[in-house]
Structure 1
Amino acid sequence: MTRLAAPLIVIGGPTAVGKTQLSIDLAKRFGGEIINGDRLQFYRGLDIGTGKVTLEEMQGVPHHALDFLDVDQDYDASQFQALAQNLIRDCHARGVLPILVGGSGLYLEGLLYDLEFGGKASHDPLIRQALEQRLETEGAQVLYAELLAQDPLAASKIPIQNHRRLLRALEVMQVTGQKFSDQSQHETAQARYETCILALDRPRDQLYERINARVQAMVAQGLEAEVRHLYQVAQGQLLPSVQGIGYKEWWPYLAGDMTDREAVIAAIQQNSRRYAKRQLTWFRNRIQGTHWLDASDYETALAQATSLVQDLLDKQAEKGGTL
């Protein structure tokens, strides 16, 4: 694969760490536009629970890949890869610096390393429909056992409760004849873009305090009402779009299977803290060449980020490259 000369800025890190503010500040400083990489923020109506950036918070900076899916639409990493590549290409054509914010696991890997895990060649509606029918009649345990037997590495990374990823892995293997895990390896892959990867972190106790406070703020902003509306739209079905943290915890409560509202909120906080820990571990283990910044001292972090981005742009200029 040929590395593309045009630059890409990536801002990662755990939930509630402060990625939005950094992305806005860098976009204003360098004339950039922001591409959302958080899968749940693709969906219309998933606003409060995903921490989706508001118009006021955008401060006039253009944002892309937000609110373009209905809650009953499926979406996978190969589709995001194609979308993001087009958005980045468009930014470069207009002389604009693309800034990718967030990035759900394989979605980010697929874009940065151009993984060949998806595309039309790995989709087959008939196979997918058959797998969905088997999931309904035979259950996830049977399908997961098949994945475990055929591709133990993929099975170790896909929770049995994540039906969307379980079905996708089995679909890809049936269509391509290859292990799903073989299609997501990038240890020897070259990054597709000239990339500056920035990741924010905070002391663990501070991060967890921010997560707990953020969940309480979401509840105060009307999270329960947002989820109730989605519950009605989905007719009680736990669609893939609402299986994210902040939404799925409400389902038993809304279905009448539990009555303790505070327990729902506590579960969201706990699951968010656990997710933040997994995000940090994943980023450190999977994304090469990351510059880690301490978000607890924001002004210093912003200065460091600004310097790193400027260094990348200066190197581009020395090579005769442009946006």
Structure 2
Amino acid sequence: MSGKIPLLVLIGPTAVGKTSTSIKVAQNLNGEIISADSMQIYEYMDIGTAKVTEDEMENIEHYMVGEILPDEDFSVSDFQDKANEYIEKIYSKGKLPMVVGGTGLYINSLVYNLDFTNAVSNPQLREEYLNEAEIHGNEVLVKKLKKIDPESAERIHINDTKRLVRALEIYHETGNPMSKYYKNFRQPNDDYNIVMIGLNMDRKKLYDRINKRVDIMLESGLIDEVKSLLDKGYDKNLTSLQGLGYKEIISYLNGEYTYDEAIEILKRDSRRFAKRQLTWFRRDKRIKWVMVDEFDSQGEIVKEITEYVEKKLELE
């Protein structure tokens, strides 16, 4: 066996059952879990992100859950740095590092050699774009980006000023769109001995689970959680509050949607998000897909994954 750190990466669309499955697998493999979810990183945002609770953790250590405030910046580069630190920390304890989540770019920052540290920079140009957005709104940045990098313009949210400016800056400095910049760095990361597992299920069953999860979030107090964030003074335009489950409820609270409209839009956008997640992950041929609805019990799913990982990583 090589001297590389073993790393289990468990991915899949929203509501497929990653959290509970990963905890059972961690118990079997003496693992600890690093969340690769761009929303669960925020404190005070528990219900809308389906954040793992203390009870659900079943004494399995979790990292990158509720570690930053909703108004703090947190980039893919920040995730990459912290996750690499935690992987080392977990391994040094004699445990198996597990990365679990559905944020594609977070996962890619670990399983590919995405080098964010040497990216080009032009502070003066950045300042110009920021001023332009301040005066004319972010629409002007999106319009510019659509002309040079439609892929990034489609992917980056209109309120994510920082990333819109970054995409424009990269194009200006390199002559290449940011989307190409990311694609060119899709070289597998050789620092770790990586095993990737993807959870999936029949599309209709998944969509039913997503709809039901939204209902559970509402019953659990999602609207009060959103009100509480706004009462704490967090701006509705923050990247964190533009996340699924938050922006729709904010629009309802502001009278832009009726309650029923907000819930229907949230369910629809959550289903679309799951579809995009699957499209993203299917590009990586290293992933072993496990169709969870083809098993009779979660115990069987966990057994299948445990045995596969033990064999691939040659664990004792």
Kept after mapping to 2: 8 A contact 1:128/1:167:
yes
2:149 is aligned, of 148, 151, 167, to: 151
**Residue number in structure 1 paired with 2:267:** 269
* Superposition pairs of residues 231-250 of structure 1, within 5 angstroms: 231-234=230-233, 236-250=235-249
Alignment of 1:283 with 2:281, yes or no, is yes
**Residue number in structure 1 paired with 2:108:** 109
Deviation, structure 1 residue 301: 2.3
* Superposition pairs of residues 218-229 of structure 1, within 5 angstroms: 218-229=217-228
C-alpha distance 150-34 of structure 1, shift in aligned 2 (>3 A): same
Alignment of 1:80 with 2:99, yes or no, is no
Write the distance in 1 (CA, Å) between the matches of 2:30 and 2:183. 34
Q: Deviations over 1:214-263 (max 9, x none)?
A: 111111111000001112234543211111110010122222334x2122
Kept after mapping to 1: 8 A contact 2:114/2:185:
no
Kept after mapping to 2: 8 A contact 1:238/1:251:
no
Write the distance in 2 (CA, Å) between the matches of 1:176 and 1:311. 44
**Residue number in structure 2 paired with 1:320:** none
Kept after mapping to 2: 8 A contact 1:154/1:181:
yes
Write the distance in 2 (CA, Å) between the matches of 1:236 and 1:158. 19
* Superposition pairs of residues 28-67 of structure 1, within 5 angstroms: 28-67=27-66
Tell me the amino acid that sits aligned with residue 261 of structure 1.
Y
Alignment of 1:293 with 2:264, yes or no, is no
Write the distance in 1 (CA, Å) between the matches of 2:189 and 2:118. 22
Provide TM-score, normalisation by structure 1: 0.87
Tell me the amino acid that sits aligned with residue 163 of structure 2.
R
Report SS of the residue matched to 2:40: helix
Report SS of the residue matched to 2:39: helix
Report SS of the residue matched to 2:282: helix
Moved more, 214-223 or 102-111: 102-111
Write the distance in 2 (CA, Å) between the matches of 1:271 and 1:78. 27
**Residue number in structure 1 paired with 2:168:** 170
Write the distance in 2 (CA, Å) between the matches of 1:152 and 1:172. 14
Write the distance in 1 (CA, Å) between the matches of 2:216 and 2:60. 24
Write the distance in 2 (CA, Å) between the matches of 1:126 and 1:43. 31
C-alpha distance 4-82 of structure 1, shift in aligned 2 (>3 A): farther
Provide TM-score, normalisation by structure 2: 0.89
**Residue number in structure 1 paired with 2:15:** 16
Write the distance in 2 (CA, Å) between the matches of 1:129 and 1:188. 30
Q: What is the RMSD of the two structures over their aligned residues, measured on CA atoms? A: 2.4
5+ residue gaps, structure 1, are: 318-323
Moved more, 249-258 or 76-85: 249-258
Kept after mapping to 1: 8 A contact 2:12/2:102:
no
**Residue number in structure 1 paired with 2:131:** 133
**Residue number in structure 1 paired with 2:199:** 200
Moved more, 142-151 or 51-60: 142-151
Kept after mapping to 1: 8 A contact 2:32/2:60:
yes
Kept after mapping to 1: 8 A contact 2:10/2:22:
yes
Write the distance in 2 (CA, Å) between the matches of 1:213 and 1:88. 34
Tell me the amino acid that sits aligned with residue 147 of structure 1.
L
Kept after mapping to 1: 8 A contact 2:47/2:217:
yes
Deviation, structure 1 residue 92: 1.7
C-alpha distance 124-68 of structure 1, shift in aligned 2 (>3 A): farther
Write the distance in 2 (CA, Å) between the matches of 1:188 and 1:168. 19
Aligned length: 311
Report SS of the residue matched to 1:34: strand
Q: Deviations over 1:159-218 (max 9, x none)?
A: 546545323323444577754223312576123321111111111111111111111111
Tell me the amino acid that sits aligned with residue 244 of structure 1.
G
C-alpha distance 8-127 of structure 1, shift in aligned 2 (>3 A): farther
Alignment of 1:99 with 2:98, yes or no, is yes
Q: Percent identity?
A: 37
Report SS of the residue matched to 1:195: strand
Alignment of 1:230 with 2:233, yes or no, is no
Report SS of the residue matched to 1:185: helix
